Amino acid sequence: MEIFASLLNSLWAIFLIVLFFGGSIFVHELGHFLAARRRGVKVTRFSIGFGPAIWSHTAKDGVEYRLSWIPLGGYVALPQLADMAAIEGESDIETAQLPPISYSTRIIVFAAGAFFNILFAFALASILWVVGQPTSEDMATTRIGYVAKTITIDEGKTVPSPALEAGLQAGDTIKAIDGNKVTDWPELLQTLVTGSGTADDGRRRAVFTIERNGKLMDLPVYPRLSGEDNVRRVGILAAYTPIVAAVPEKSYAESLGLKVGDRLTKLDGVPLLNLVPIMDLMQAKEPVAFTLTITRPTGASTITVPADRPKDSPGLFGASFRTTYGLKHTNPVTQLSSQVVMTWRTLTSLLHPKSDIGLSKLSGPIGIGKIYWDASEAGIRYVLWIAILVNVNLAIFNLLPIPVLDGGHMLFATIGKLRGRALPANFIAASQSVFIILLFSMILYVSVFDVRRITRDARTESPPKAAKPADAGK
Spatial distance between the Cα atoms of 464 and 213, rounded to a whole number of angstroms:
32
Q: Which residue ranges make up each domain of the chain?
A: 2-133+382-459, 138-235, 243-322
Examine the pLDDT at 363 and tell me if it is beyond 90.
no
Q: Given this model, what pLDDT does residue 95 score? A: 56
Q: Using CA atoms, how far apart are residues 170 and 212, in angstroms rounded to an integer?
A: 10
What CATH architecture does domain 243-322 belong to? Answer: Roll (2.30)
The one-letter amino acid at 190: Q
pLDDT at 358 over 90: no
Domain 138-235 homologous superfamily, CATH: PDZ domain (2.30.42.10)
The C-alpha angle 132, 191, 455, rounded to 5 degrees, equals 80
Burial (CB < 10 A; 0-12, 13-18, 19+), residue 188, is buried
Question: Average per-residue pLDDT in the chain?
Answer: 88
**212 vs 286 pLDDT, higher one:** 212
The pLDDT of residue 90: 52
Compute CA distances 166 → 170, 194, 198, 200, 208, whole Å: 13, 20, 15, 17, 10
Share of the chain above pLDDT 90, in %: 58
* Domain 243-322 in the same topology as domain 138-235: yes
Dihedral over alpha carbons 170, 175, 180, 183 (to 10 degrees): 100
pLDDT tens digits, residue range 370-412? 999 999 988 999 999 999 999 999 999 999 999 889 999 999 9
Name the residue among 329, 328, 325, 347 with its Cα closest to residue 397.
347
pLDDT range class, residue 414, cuts 50, 70, 90: very high
Q: Of 56-60, 113-117, 425-429, which one has max mean pLDDT? A: 113-117
Q: What is the pLDDT of residue 433?
A: 86
Structure confidence at residue 321 (pLDDT): 94
Amino acid 463: pLDDT: 41
Q: Is the Cβ–Cβ distance between 234 and 474 less than 8 Å?
A: yes
Q: How far apart are CA 85 and CA 110, in angstroms?
A: 17
pLDDT tens per residue across span 311-329: 766 668 889 999 999 999 9
Contact 290, 282 (CB under 8 A): no
Cα 450 from Cα 458, distance rounded (Å):
12
Q: By C-alpha distance, which of 14, 35, 45, 23 is closest to 105? A: 35
> Residues 342-354: pLDDT tens digits?
999 999 998 888 8
Q: What is the 3-state secondary structure (H, E, C) of the chain?
A: CHHHHHHHHHHHHHHHHHHHHHHHHHHHHHHHHHHHHHCCCCCCEEEEEEEEEEEEEECCCCCEEEEEEEEEEEEEECCCCCCCHHHHCCCCCCHHHCCCCCHHHHHHHHHHHHHHHHHHHHHHHHHHHHHCEEEECCCCCCEEEEECCEEECHHHCEEECHHHHHCCCCCCEEEEECCEECCCHHHHHHHHHCCCCECCCCCECEEEEEEECCEEEEEEECCEEECCCCEEECCEEECCCCEEEECCCCCHHHHHCCCCCCEEEEECCEECCCCHHHHHHHCCCCCCCEEEEEEECCEEEEEEECCCCCCCCCCECCEEEECCEEEECCCHHHHHHHHHHHHHHHHHHHHCCCCCCCHHHCCCHHHHHHHHHHHHHHCHHHHHHHHHHHHHHHHHHHCCCCCCCHHHHHHHHHHHHHHCCCCCHHHHHHHHHHHHHHHHHHHHHHHHHHHHHHHHHHHCCCCCHHHCHHHHHC
Cβ pair 233, 224 in contact under 8 A: yes
Q: What is the pLDDT of residue 83?
A: 58
Contacts of 302 (CB under 8 A, 6+ apart): 291, 292, 293, 294
- For the entire predicted model, the pTM comes to 0.84
Average pLDDT over residues 70-99: 67
